[in-house]
Amino acid sequence: MMEDLSNYPLELTGDNVPMVRFLKVTKRYGDLVVLDQLDLDVAEGEMVTIIGPSGSGKTTVLRMLMTLETINEGVIYVDGKPLTHMEKNGKLVPADRKYLRKARSQIGMCFQHFNLFPHMTALENCMEGPVQVLGMKKAEARERAEELLELVGMSDKRDQHPSRLSGGQQQRVAIARALAMRPKVMLFDEVTSALDPEVIGEVTNVIRSLVEKHNLTMLMVTHQMGFAKDISDRVCFFFDGKIEEQGAPEDLFGNPQKERTQQFLSAVKEAD
């Protein structure tokens, strides 16, 4: 049965259109409700961090935004336009593949396990999207890729294949690869979780510099509470597919209101 979407706007208008809006988004796997009527806005240029216990739906939020997962209910908007749906005869209908391909080009994602293309050098990894998808000239794509590798401090390794790079280096290339598509929104899913402790800093420093110097909208899932506190504009604590509590990092970490938040944060602190 088709969901009735008549209550959802065809596009978002007005003064404060958020860069990302989840509007009553539900995601189920079979009987398991992973996201439950989720509402979440991210403003342009905002860095929002998602924290929460394992299995609370954090990754799913990012994957839905990357359209890697289908949506069961609700609509996600990016830059005011529907992402998961498209307009047809004045109504919203689930987006077809062509629409999705265009729509998701506004989103860039970095994965826990980097997922660099192993048969391409660092530079080629960063040129692949611009050349193959954006139809950019090779010379131009190379220039952009070189700039971005410089930005993440990987210029000297640009001709290396991923297998020759450490985890931290691979993740930095992966960030450059995603940025090469000039996304409006960047997603980071536990990008430091698979890294050795001593190289986590090189990746977090790159993200930090993106926050400081670039007006990118970012959504990040992390277990590094210190880092989240440092760089986030807002922190969302997820529990059971819902936002249990959210706020500025100093409030959420300094003075959590909900019991579950307090429990989670003290458990994390103990583990550290």
Partner 1 sequence: MSYIEFLKEYGPRFWDGTLVTAGQFFLASALAIVIALIAGLMKLSRNGLIRGIAVVYIEIFRGTSLLVQLYWIFFVLPLFGLTLPKFTAGFVAVGMNLGAYGAELVRGGIQSVPKGQWEAAYALSMSPMRRMWRIILPQAFVNMLPPWGNLLIELLKNTALVALISVSDLMFEAKQINGSTFLSAQTFGTALIIYYVFARFIVTPFMRWLELVMRRKLGRA
Give the footprint of Mg ion on this chain (CB under 5 A).
Answer: 59
CA distance 165 to 122: 9
User: What is the token pair recorded at 24?
Assistant: 């009553």
> Considering only residues 212-271, where is the footprint of partner 1 by CB under 8 A?
none
Q: Which does 107 bind (CB under 5 to 8 A by kind): ligand ADP, Mg ion, partner 1, none?
A: partner 1
Least gap, CB of 119 to partner 1 (angstroms):
5
Is 89 near ligand ADP (CB under 6 A)? no
- Report the distance separating Cα 203 and Cα 27, nearest Å: 31
Q: What is d(CA 42, CA 19) in angstroms, rounded to the nearest whole number?
A: 6
The whole-angstrom separation of Cα 37 and Cα 77 is 15
Of 59 and 224, nearer to ligand ADP (C-beta) is 59
Q: Where are the alpha helices (DSSP H) in 152-196?
A: 167-179
The 8 Å CB, 24+ separation contacts for 132-135 are 133/105, 133/181, 134/105, 134/181
Q: Choose, by CB under 8 A, the member of 117, 226, 258, 269 that binds partner 1.
A: 117
Closest CA to 169 of 190, 188, 194: 194
Q: Does 172 bind partner 1 (CB under 8 A)?
A: no
- Determine which residue in the list 26, 115, 155, 166 makes contact with partner 1, applying CB under 8 A: 115
Return the range that interacts with ligand ADP (CB under 6 A); candidates 56-64, 77-85, 121-129, 261-269: 56-64
Return d(Cα 5, Cα 85) in angstroms, integer: 10
Among 6, 7, 16, 54, binds ligand ADP (CB under 6 A): 54
Looking at beta carbons only, is 112 or 166 nearer to ligand ADP?
112
Coil/strand/helix, residue 33: strand
With respect to partner 1, which residue has the nearer C-beta, 70 or 262? 70
**Which amino acid makes up residue 268?**
V
- # residues contacting partner 1 (CB under 8 A): 31
**Residue appearing with tokens 């960047």:** 186
| Residue 142 interacts with which of Mg ion, partner 1, ligand ADP, none, CB < 5 to 8 Å by class | none
- Binding string, residues 178-197; x marks residues near partner 1 by CB under 8 A: x--x----------------
In the list 19, 34, 71, 236, the residue contacting ligand ADP (rule: CB under 6 A) is 34
